[in-house]
Structure 1
Amino acid sequence: MATQTEQHKYYVPEPSAWPFVMTIAMFTFALGLASWLNGAETVGPYIFAAGLALILVMTFIWFRGVIRENQAGAYGHQEEMTFRWAMSWFIFSEVMFFGAFFGALFYARMLSVPWLAGEGSEFTTNAYLWEGFEAAWPTNGPGNVGGTFDTIPPWGVPFLNTIILLTSGVTITIAHWGLKENNRLKLNLGLAATVALGAIFLFFQAEEYIHAYQDLNLTLSSGIYGSTFFMLTGFHGAHVTLGTIMLLVILLRCIAGHFSAENHFGFEAVAWYWHFVDVVWLGLFVFVYIL
């Protein structure tokens, strides 16, 4: 007799226009953001907002369809393995994404800045081009790009945000235990706490950015330090925002009773993503704020 896995035919959804529309949305989003960052303040923010709104609408519609397919029993063991591999490769791509920015930080700090100060050079070109420049970090380079700035102390808001994210890793693990134990109260409370901690993290990061721009003159234009600081922390904040939204959706699904102890990869995928976000922040805290 054939097993259930052998009997199950791999589910292939009907052709859909959603991937094409999502591509347009993401292009519009990127175009608006790039225009905004490069000084097109007249139209850039509006293009960015339009792209973001379209992405959110498409995400809701697309995910709603996937959830309905799952609830209807369209997915079996093979589909779940596909989802697991897909999420694994997605997180790997995110590791490479942040690895590139950490690599840029390392290259600038450990190689470029010392070279500009004349380290390892047989000639004294730097003495004529950048007289008096010393290899120190943080720096905005020999040109003093963006003017003098102050850095954000690591043991204030950054340390608090570290505690918040580490705590959120504990609460989502507690929620996962609750799901495996069929304890819906434990599951929902753990998830709700994780969503709240993610929102609190974002609040403090927004406060930190406001303080940096208004009081410290630390901006995206503050040379190599400002650009690496805001690119790393900003992209991480974007990932925390996405993760918090995902957690909120999963919380609403858990309240609706969508997951069981045996079938809950949607929950696990978000948990994997959230733990990844936690680990990246630890790297940021050490290499951006402390060292």
Structure 2
Amino acid sequence: MTLLSQISKSVQRHPFHLVDPSPWPFVASLSAFSCAINGVMYIHAFKRGGFALLFSFLSLLVIMFIWWRDVIREATFEGHHTGVVQQGLRFGVILFIVSEILFFFAFFWAFFHSSLSPGVEIGSMWPPKGISVIDPWEIPFLNTLILLLSGCTVTWSHHAMVANLRLQALISLFLTIILAIIFTALQAYEYNLADFRLSDGIYGSTFYMATGFHGFHVFIGTVSLLICLIRLNQYQLTQQHHFGFESAAWYWHFVDVVWLFLFVSIYWWGGV
């Protein structure tokens, strides 16, 4: 076999990227499963359940960081993310967001199932007797304005990136992250002020499961946007290739829309 034929056989003749074998999907699934199990243990006050939950959550963050590092490496430094590959990634992110919509749909179903037809066990009324609900026009309304503003700033960053206005993209993305941190801090403060807990019947469980998982999604979105800010500052996101930021922006808009439904249904309508 001649040298020319060997070279021709090693050249990739299609625009697709065949991913190298990676342990991270399997390890990440184990870590996520561990988070779910340890979360249940923590809720039911098992001994050292909080420590186990924290350890599994931190391990999941480390795995996310390593996995994202590999994806960034193959996209930025190895040039595997062609236009066809990016189109496939877009479909993947859309399917992921659809699965997240169905995830939150289950919590809304549980909430409306109990609120529209409250049983005698909770006094045949909603909110249940003895529950002092949170005023929707205080911290929840402020958080709504903050999230809507963050949606504007992340859109500003996207348009600035497409227009190759790098400084504007950096400033607007930084503002988005600051707003996200403020939202999370205010939600933690709201939880601290609330008179009911997760164990306080159906109202407490539906409220904290829905808003708590939304807060977790805000945290994941904040981490994603922070990674995008670092990559943008290091010139890894360009005018033509910035799908990592685009997917994070889609996810952030999904978080915004879910919060609007939470505010209207659980905070406002559910607290009347």
Same fold (TM over 0.5): yes
Question: What residue number does 1:283 align with?
Answer: 261
Match of 1:239 among 217, 224, 237: 217
Equivalent-residue separation in structure 1 for 2:126 and 2:30 (angstroms): 41
Equivalent-residue separation in structure 1 for 2:197 and 2:183 (angstroms): 20
Q: CA deviation at 1:7?
A: 4.4
1:166-177 → structure 2 map (5 Å cutoff): 166-177=148-159
Q: CA deviation at 1:46?
A: 1.7
SS of residue in 2 equivalent to 1:135: coil
Question: What residue number does 1:68 align with?
Answer: 73
Equivalent-residue separation in structure 1 for 2:23 and 2:209 (angstroms): 33
Could you tell me the TM-score, scaled by structure 2's length? 0.91
Aligned length: 257
Confirm or deny that 1:79 pairs with 2:68.
Answer: no
Q: CA deviation at 1:110?
A: 1.0
Higher RCO (C-alpha 8 Å, min separation 6): 2
Question: What residue number does 2:63 align with?
Answer: 58
Match of 1:248 among 212, 215, 226: 226
Equivalent-residue separation in structure 2 for 1:79 and 1:184 (angstroms): 25
Match of 2:16 among 5, 10, 16: 10
Give percent identity, aligned residues only: 42
Name the amino acid aligned to 1:242: I
Is the CA contact (8 Å cut-off) linking 1:91 and 1:276 kept in structure 2?
A: yes
SS of residue in 1 equivalent to 2:136: coil
Equivalent-residue separation in structure 1 for 2:104 and 2:212 (angstroms): 11
Task: Structure 2: give runs of 5+ residues left out of the alignment.
Answer: 1-11
Task: Say which is worse superposed, 275-284 or 219-228, in terms of deviation.
Answer: 219-228
1:41-190 → structure 2 map (5 Å cutoff): 42-71=47-76, 72-111=78-117, 113=118, 116-117=119-120, 134-139=123-128, 148-190=130-172
Is the CA contact (8 Å cut-off) linking 2:15 and 2:85 kept in structure 1?
A: no
Question: What residue number does 2:28 align with?
Answer: 22
Q: CA deviation at 1:149?
A: 3.2
Equivalent-residue separation in structure 2 for 1:174 and 1:23 (angstroms): 34
SS of residue in 2 equivalent to 1:240: helix
SS of residue in 2 equivalent to 1:154: coil
Could you tell me the TM-score, scaled by structure 1's length? 0.85
Equivalent-residue separation in structure 2 for 1:265 and 1:182 (angstroms): 15
- Displacement over 2 Å in runs of 4+: 6-9
SS of residue in 1 equivalent to 2:79: coil
Equivalent-residue separation in structure 2 for 1:181 and 1:10 (angstroms): 28
